[in-house]
Amino acid sequence: MLVFYKARLAFLSVPKTGTSAYETALRPHADLVISEPPDLKHAPVYRYNRFIRPMFEKVCDVELEVMAVMREPISWLGSWWRYRQRPFMQGKPNATHDISFDDFVLAYMKGQRPGFANVGSQLKFLERQANGTGVTHLFRYEDQARLQSFLTDRVGVRFKLGRENVSPARRVELSEAVERRFRRKFAEEFALYDEIPTD
């Protein structure tokens, strides 16, 4: 998570949306950087609302706007599936080396997800809270030009992105039957993604 006080902006780190690269590039310009532990680095809206927002509201009398990035839902799961195939994951309970992407998505759709498919939810991460706290500026991971342009204008700096936490290259293929089930069960997730402005 990055906070830019003068820009009145908090940048939440949705996992598997490239935010580690933004953290590295923008760290020198941020007033607050939370990179550890993962539960705080990747604090969702509800955790931001409970712990970070009140700090700025009570001490500084400031309400920050919140930005975040969302990845196309199938691509997001594909990134997790590939990420858990890094060499050092071999033999670990959450590894996906011997699991097809179909089986990974089917496991993700279960009520009780096995560890290897227990990767959270973008929809839950971004969920607006009862007091109105939510994401003010939501960007598609696939629309990097719009995201970078917004940050350059809002924070007032130019920056270059590197690549971090890159998942192993592997073809992500989902059968039509599993994709239909996934889209039906997670229709709200796809609807949220489809609502994100692209211009």
What average pLDDT values come out for the chain (199 residues) when binned by 10 residues?
A: 97 96 96 93 97 95 97 97 92 92 98 95 98 97 96 95 80 96 98 94
Closest by Cα among 45, 40, 8, 46 to 23 = 40
The structure tokens 């839950």 sit at 124
Predicted local distance difference test score (pLDDT) of residue 169:
81
Read off the pLDDT of residues 93-122 as tens digits, 9 standing for 90 and up.
899 999 999 999 999 999 999 999 999 999
pTM: 0.94
Predicted local distance difference test score (pLDDT) of residue 190:
98
Read off the pLDDT of residues 17-36 as tens digits, 9 standing for 90 and up.
999 999 999 999 999 999 99
Predicted local distance difference test score (pLDDT) of residue 42:
96
Fold that domain 2-195 belongs to in CATH: Rossmann fold (3.40.50)
Q: Domain residues of the chain, as ranges?
A: 2-195
